[in-house]
Amino acid sequence: MNILKFESPQNAIEALAVHVIASAKDAIQQKGSFNLVLTGGSSPKVLYHLLSTTYKYAIDWTKVFFFIGDERYVPADHADYNGKMARETLLSPLNISEEQIFFVNTTLQQDQAAYDYYERIDAHFKGNITFDYTLLGMGADAHTASIFPGTDLCQEFRPTIAAVFVEKLDSWRISLSAALINKSQNISFLAFGKEKVEAFKSVQENPGSIEFPASLIEGNVSWYVDSAILGE
């Protein structure tokens, strides 16, 4: 695991954008495509804006496929739907075509939406799901994607996608499991702020702990953090 510390969230985001673009260039050169899993939450908005403006001409965006690590079970035009934010900040400005976008169909019943999402991704990868790059955030309770402490998804060790009811939010989410995320070639967390100090510490100190779900993420993992999250 690689912890990359920056003075400010803005600096962390700029460095992450450089890494995403470099990884995309490599993947496109090697195999002609780049499979990028986006994250929801608020931290990535600036990243997406940067990618769609400063980096608009840096890579061939027609070779990039987009996925979402987790989705809120609300209609696609609802303000909470992660894909809506991704469309507004990244996909629409880049004129990405619908064939390149894999988002959750929340018109289906929860379990069916998870199954349908997995099936579409599996078909895209011809049965061998391997994302090139996964972006993740982390909450103050150490959840990542929608793998929240105390939910069944923490104990799901198969690489899959599931519907999960999050009691404290009183709502359903659809999320990749940690085992599926861990199949990604690159994984980068974007996490900022002093309210996440304890979670960050617990995750670093307890690898593989279901109490701190972000610690279930392993492989080629980098953390793009600001000094506040380190308690500095």
Buried b / exposed e along 116-142 (16+ C-beta atoms within 10 A): bbbeebeebeeeebebbbbbbbbbebb
Lay out the site mask for ligand 6PG across 98-137 (x = CB under 6 A, - = otherwise): ---------------------------------------x
Shortest reach from residue 74's CB to ligand 6PG, in Å: 11
CB 223 within 8 A of CB 1: yes
Q: Which is nearer to ligand 6PG, 6 or 25 (CB)?
A: 6
Q: Site mask, ligand 6PG, residues 4-43, x = CB under 6 A?
A: -----------------------------------xxxxx
Q: Which is nearer to ligand 6PG, 42 or 155 (CB)?
A: 42
Q: Could you tell me which stretch among 5-13, 100-108, 140-148, 162-170 binds ligand 6PG (CB under 6 A)? A: 140-148
**What does each C-alpha distance from 7 to 13, 14, 83, 165 come to in angstroms?**
11, 12, 29, 36
Nearest approach in angstroms of CB 42 to ligand 6PG is: 4
H or E segment and range at residue 46: helix 44-53
Choose, by CB under 6 A, the member of 100, 144, 188, 215 that binds ligand 6PG: 144
Report DSSP state, residue 149.
T
Contacting residue, 93, 139, 150, 159, with ligand 6PG by CB under 6 A: 139
Strand partners, 36: 66, 133
Q: Which stretch binds ligand 6PG (CB under 6 A): 22-30, 142-150, 177-185, 222-230?
A: 142-150
Residue 212's alpha-carbon distances to 71, 106, 181, 205, 207, in angstroms, are: 20, 27, 16, 10, 8
Decide whether 59 or 143 has the Cβ nearer to ligand 6PG. 143
Could you count the other beta carbons within 10 Å of the beta carbon of residue 100? 18
Q: Which of 12, 37, 145, 229 binds ligand 6PG (CB under 6 A)?
A: 145
- Using CB under 6 A, count the residues that bind ligand 6PG: 14
**For residue 214, which of 9, 205, 110 has the smallest C-alpha distance?**
205
Structure tokens at 59: 């890579």
Nearest-angstrom CA–CA distance, 190 and 192:
7
Residue 213 binds to ligand 6PG (criterion: CB under 6 A) = no
Out of 23, 35, 52, 82, which residue is the one contacting ligand 6PG (CB under 6 A)?
82
Secondary structure (3-state) at 143: coil
Which residues of this chain interact with ligand 6PG, rule CB under 6 A?
Answer: 39-43, 69-70, 82, 137-139, 143-145
